[in-house]
């Protein structure tokens, strides 16, 4: 018996990916926060995505598991130039938490 090949459109792939929230590092991280903190950290993570990717990609679609030391080091210096030390530290704390979720999810 031959298996049928399934062809998916890009919007269908996005839907499949968004349904797998138990495997998404941002979703797992935000789920463990208080509701008011989720809003603030989601905003912080979108700032990080804009700085790293230079595009309009969403936090959900960003490949967090692909970030490496050199990317985070460059981001750290950008944050230090633009924001106050406390704001930069908050951004790095959010990034650290998402990276830890990537590691714990074996991504």
Q: What is the CA radius of gyration of the chain?
A: 16
pTM over 0.95: no
> Any idea which residue has 């062809």 for tokens?
7
* pLDDT attached to residue 86: 95
Count of C-beta atoms within a 10 Å radius of residue 77 = 10
Q: What integer best gives the mean pLDDT of the chain?
A: 83
Do residues 44 and 91 lie in contact, with contact meaning Cβ atoms separated by under 8 Å?
A: yes
Structure tokens at 27: 């979703």
Residues 6 or more apart whose CB falls under 8 angstroms from that of 53 comprise 62
* pLDDT attached to residue 56: 79
pLDDT digits (tens, 9 = 90+) for 4-46: 444 444 444 444 455 577 789 999 999 999 988 999 999 999 9
């Amino acid at each position: 018996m031959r298996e049928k090949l399934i062809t998916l459109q890009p919007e269908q792939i996005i839907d499949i990916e968004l349904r797998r929230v138990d495997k998404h590092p941002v979703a797992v991280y935000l789920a463990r926060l208080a509701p008011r903190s989720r809003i603030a950290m989601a905003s912080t993570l979108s700032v990080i995505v804009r700085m790293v990717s230079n595009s309009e990609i969403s936090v959900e679609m960003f490949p967090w598991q692909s970030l490496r030391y050199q990317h985070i080091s460059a981001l750290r210096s950008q944050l230090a130039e633009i924001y106050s030390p406390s704001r930069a530290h908050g951004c790095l704390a959010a990034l650290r938490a998402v990276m830890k979720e990537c590691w714990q999810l074996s991504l």
